[in-house]
Chains A and B, each alone.
Chain A
């Protein structure tokens, strides 16, 4: 049973456009929601994260929107660039710090 569901599985965006990736979770005990960016053959790199008592967090071109009542959160990448092409994973932190990942979104930004 996938505790964190992520969509879409793949996304193609034009350079300068907005990329939006959505996640939904089930366990209300999750206390921290990070997004990771992963390039092929590399480890996941922390991009941005949010706690459930905050509805939005922005860092540069990256914004997380968090809806606690709906148990949903999303990543918005503004002014998407070809260098943003990577796989993005949402995650939720459970007890004792373990991360539960979504299935991943393969983002391709076309020049």
Chain B
């Protein structure tokens, strides 16, 4: 069983379009995250949700909007896509209060904006 899954795995789209990436975890975790990994492989956190509430919102453009319908899902919607949004986006989850708070990552979604 896949612990943290993301769809789609690849996303190619034109500048200006709106797109969504979905994430689901079946680990019973209460906190989920979105990370952006640039071409230099640096993972940068974008958002974190704990029990469906936003607890961290790093400085990202407001074109990016996370949505969490329940604590097992955290989707990422991106409006008016730009060339610089091209990257790999990773979803992760963890259990707050668990010893050492390990984050489990999804397989990533490679977004290419043309």
The finding on whether chains A and B are genuine partners in a shared complex, rather than unrelated, reads no
> Which B residues have a C-beta under 8 Å from some C-beta of A?
none
> Which A residues have a C-beta under 8 Å from some C-beta of B?
none
